[in-house]
Structure 1
Amino acid sequence: MRIYKVGGAVRDRLLGRPVSDIDWVVVGASAEQMQALGFRPVGEDFPVFLHPDSGEEYALARTERKSGRGYGGFTFHASPEVTLEEDLIRRDLTINAMAEDQQGHLTDPYGGQRDLEARLLRHVAPAFAEDPLRVLRVARFAARYAPLGFSVAPETLALMRQLSESGELQALTPERSWKEISRALLEPRPDVFIQVLRECGALHTLLPEVQALFGVPQPPAHHPEIDTGRHVLSVLRQCAEHQQPLQVRWACLLHDVGKGLTAPADWPRHIGHEQRGVPLIRAINQRCKAPKDCQELALLVGQYHTHGHRALELKPSTLLELLHNIDAYRRPQRFEDFIAACEMDAHGRDGLEHCAYPQADYLRGALQAARGVSVQPLLAQGLQGPQLGEALAQARLVALKSYKMREV
């Protein structure tokens, strides 16, 4: 029995990055031997065991064979006869197909160390094209390592394009796709993830509403970058630079999808794109099975982001309605996320990355003014039910009118 550290732990150590999770592969052992040593089996599709002391996962060396569509269409074979090289060749990228024994000796049969030095994401073997999930994984790795100068090797991008054109991506379950998309959006360069998907043709299958934004012009006076797709990429990059949470990044990715429905005759203006985008965002949320907080914020940002940009110009009644629709009184953090998404949108424009955004503090002040209205005097008047709600709204409107007079 020989035990090796494999995959990301080896890769990140060689890159000088922190190592968090460690994967282990066991060569020359059977499932019965592992259990005799106290390892607990947990794998359903193939033999994976938990270490009796550390709880870390140890997998038996295995081979795989394509047996159906999708990422799950594989038959696995594990036995003491499977070699380390046979186990490593089934992995996606050369930089993930290295192993290290307990003495620290490196096994690198497919040139992973060479590709680390060349800053290339290269597939290990032609079998790469058998698993559609790898398209998203490679794009995610590109988003993670772009700050280090990594790019996807041309031959790997060609295989990813082949996978995209084969229809295999449609066999991915929403849950697996979302897992990769959500992790990629939280990487240092989520814009690179979207760009790589676009380059290999996968964006058209996974997020056609976002794909449709590339080539759609916007007024240069407001958007010096002009192209709507480029703008969305810039907004995502701002999200990463400001370390925004997932729900803000998801909302920013989808905020302008309504512009993809603007008739070319109306370009570069996009009047009403906010409302046009709402059904698209709802459909994307359902298709991707995004978490509830991501879904809700994406819909609110899509519908009201221009309200955020025009906050200082809004009538007090419109401001009151905005606070109500966002449910800002009961969910102040969601209101903060809405403001953050609007600010990232404003910064995601060429030459305006560091522009002031006074709308943020103005909106916070408006919420504070409206929340400052006490309900007790209204209750003392005996108001209740719809009458109480209407009186409270009127009192908040008065407070917002005073606030606007002070601040603008």
Structure 2
Amino acid sequence: MKTYMVGGAVRDALLGLPVNDHDWVAVGATPEEMVAAGYTPVGKDFPVFLHPQTKEEVALARTERKSAPGYRGFTVHADPGVTLEEDLMRRDLTINAMARDVDGTLVDPYHGQRDLEAKVLRHVSAAFAEDPVRILRLARFAARFADFSVADETTALMRQMVDAGEVDALVPERVWQELSRGLMEHKPSRMFEVLRSCGALARLLPEVDRLWGVPQPEAHHPEVDTGVHLMLVLDMAAQLNAPLTVRFACLGHDLGKGTTRADELPRHIAHEARSVKLVEAVCERLRVPTDCRELAVTVAREHGNVHRSGELNAAAVMRLLERCDAWRRPQRFAELLLACECDARGRTGLENAPYPQRARLQRALDAALAVDTAAVSADALARGWKGPAIGDAIRNARQAAVAAALAG
């Protein structure tokens, strides 16, 4: 038996990036021999074991054969006769199909090092077409390695996969898994560019795909095109180290602009309400986690009001805070403000523009939260007030605090 380090650990080491996880492949062993050597079996779909000392995963070299549509339709074959080269051939990209021997020797049968140096994402073999998840993975890698290009033949192969309906067989959980990981990469816009280039975005997220070519008023959006604006917003979210909740909310904030009637362009009256419905549909279809869903709906509904909040008085700001459930969910309100800043700065030439609305509204919320509601309630009770009157007293105290904060 021989073991080799494979995949991302080899790639990242060659790129000079930190390596946090190691993947290993064992060649020339049976499951029984692995157990006899002290390895603990953990794999369900194929033989994977934990190393007796390091507890890192070691998989037996294996091949795969397509047996049904979608990413689950594979028959796995693992035995001592499977070579390292055969195992590497089943991998997605050449830059992920390299291995290192325990003595440090690089094993690179598919020229991954050459593609790393040329900064190219290229499929290893025609087997790439058997797993539609690989389109999403490649797009995610494009977001991580933003200066890498996609090989022309790989783009052509992905188009063929989309045309063959392979992408339609993806289950929502895997789409969300890859989408969410891609959103958290260095340059999320690249993921969407790659998905658009092969037609996959129109199948997976038609609500997003239709934004390209939709004009906006140039006075507010120098980039004009709504799809271009969305990509700038996502990259601004990455630049500001926004969490996934904020990045997903940015993705959905303007979906309603894709359904504006032609005779209403380039204005987008009431697009917020349309965006809310479309965001809810996307979340339902992809089974998006609740925290992402709730923030995305709130941002879609309220981002215009936040942008205009410099014109709002204390009473109007109070209504905004109440609609956003800011008393109970102050962290979500802070994320709403961050998403709105990403939206405002995700415009050509305005990337470094100040966004005072965020600080102003945060100051207003902090002041309202600082109100001692127990003391206000006690005072109201002492005056003989009951029920709704006590609630009104608390609201008035909060509004007074908001007014003072806005004036300060």
Q: Given the two structures, how large is their TM-score scaled by the length of structure 1? A: 0.96
**Structure 1, unpaired ranges of 5+:** none
Mapping of residues 268-287 of structure 1, within 5 Å: 268-287=266-285
- SS of equivalent to 1:303: helix
Letter of the aligned partner of 1:226 in structure 2? V
Query: What does 1:3-402 align with in structure 2 at a 5 Å threshold?
Result: 3-146=3-146, 149-375=147-373, 376-382=375-381, 383-402=385-404
Structure 2: 5+ residue stretches without partners: none
Give the match's secondary structure for 1:349: coil
* CA distance, structure 1, for counterparts of residue 405 and residue 331 of structure 2: 22
Distance 1:397 1:38 in 2: 67
**CA distance 1:49–1:395, change in 2 (3 Å):** same
The answer to which of 374-383 and 276-285 deviates more is: 374-383
Aligned partners of 1:370, 1:4: CA distance in 2, in Å? Answer: 59
Q: Describe the shift of the 1:393–1:49 C-alpha distance in structure 2 as closer, same or farther (beyond 3 A).
A: same
Using the alignment, how far apart are the partners of 2:203 and 2:226 within structure 1?
A: 19
User: Shift of residue 72 of structure 1?
Assistant: 0.8
- Cα deviations across residues 108-159 of structure 1 (Å, max 9, x unaligned)? 111111111111000000111110000000000011011xx21111110111
SS at match of 2:268: coil
Contact 2:213/2:225 (CA < 8 Å) preserved in 1?
A: yes
- Percent identity over paired residues: 57
The AA in structure 2 aligned to 1:8 is G
Q: CA deviation at 1:319?
A: 1.1
Runs of 4+ in structure 1 deviating by more than 4 angstroms, as ranges, are none
State the distance in 2 between where 1:393 and 1:16 align.
56
How far residue 313 of structure 1 moved from its aligned partner, in angstroms, is: 0.6
Aligned length: 404
Cα deviation for residue 385 of structure 1 reads 4.1
Deviations 1:68-106 (A, max 9, x none): 111110000000000111111000001111111000111
CA distance in 1, matches of 2:156, 2:231: 23
Amino acid at match of 2:351: E
Moved more, 326-335 or 302-311: 326-335
- Paired AA for residue 103 in structure 2: Q
Q: Which moved more, 1:26-35 or 1:271-280?
A: 271-280
* Cα drift, residue 273 of structure 1: 0.6
Contact 2:100 2:106 in 1 (8 A): yes
Q: CA deviation at 1:380?
A: 3.0
Inter-partner Cα distance in structure 1 for 2:205 and 2:89: 31
Aligned with 2:326: secondary structure?
A: coil
Per-residue deviation, residues 304-341 of structure 1 (Å, max 9, x unmatched): 00111111112322211211122222222111111100
| Counterpart Cα distance in 2 of 1:366 and 1:63 | 60
- Relative distance call for 1:115 and 1:371 in structure 2 (3 A) is same
Q: SS state of the match for residue 381, structure 1?
A: helix
CA–CA separation in structure 1 for the residues paired with 2:105 and 2:372? 70
Shift of 1:34: 0.3
Say what the alpha-carbon RMSD is for the aligned residues.
1.3
Deviation (angstroms), 1:161: 1.2
Q: Hey, what's the Cα distance between the residues in 1 that align with 2:27 and 2:278?
A: 49
Q: Distance in 2 between matches of 1:340 and 1:173?
A: 31
Post-superposition offset of 1:390: 3.0
Structure 2 counterpart SS, 1:21? coil
Letter in 2 for 1:184: G
CA drift at 1:164: 1.6
Amino acid at match of 1:272: A
Q: Tell me the amino acid that sits aligned with residue 393 of structure 1.
A: R
Cα distance in 2 between the residues matched to 1:349 and 1:297: 22
